[in-house]
Amino acid sequence: MQACRLAATDLACRRGDRVLFQGLSLALNAGAALQVAGPNGVGKSSLLRVLAGLLVPLHGHVERQGATGLIDERAALDPHLPLDRALAFWGRFDAVTAEPYAQLGLAGLGDVPVRYLSTGQRKRAALARLLGQVAPIWLLDEPLNGLDRAGAALVETLAAEHCAGGGICVIASHQAFALPGMDTLELAQFSPQEGPS
């Protein structure tokens, strides 16, 4: 895996007229895992989008060394295409293969249109695409939503293997996420209403 690093300096993010967080800095090196925690509306998803370069911060800057893969509520797969073809589209850019199908519980679903997949199956399909990206930086927004216990354990295992192999994981989740050595960032501490503690 290529060398990776993810750092942010004095970030602030605004949604509409409301500043969600400010004064946030972090630095993650190869093998690091960070869970972003906090109540609904505190800015967890917005922070991940800022870290991915999809949202411009109100203040501060982000430095990324290494490719970044993001999983959020949008699977980034054409809902009208069968799963095989939807993943094959990204395979032209990524390294997606059929190999993760069985591991992710997707065997036999290749001819099913993405729109007919269950929430958990769509989440697993998004994971297949993430694995194909071979991106050293993973940004996972509520990665356990819609998954049964076995699916959640699989995501935790994949994240642990990714970090053990020198990758970085940033996970925004309301749910407990079992990942050895993971630090926690309570985003509410950076709310302008509460201020850093």
20 close to 43: Cβ distance less than 8 angstroms: yes
- Mean pLDDT over all residues of the chain? 88
Q: Report helix, strand and coil shares of the chain as percent, to nearest 5.
A: 30, 30, 40
pLDDT digits (tens, 9 = 90+) for 125-184: 888 888 888 899 999 999 998 888 988 999 999 999 999 999 999 999 888 899 988 999
CA gap 19, 132 in Å, rounded: 35
Q: Which residue has the tokens 């694995």?
A: 131
CA gap 77, 89 in Å, rounded: 9
CA gap 74, 177 in Å, rounded: 21
* Correct CATH for 31-55+66-184 of 3.40.50.300, 3.40.50.740, 3.60.40.10, 3.30.70.20: 3.40.50.300
**pTM for the model:** 0.88
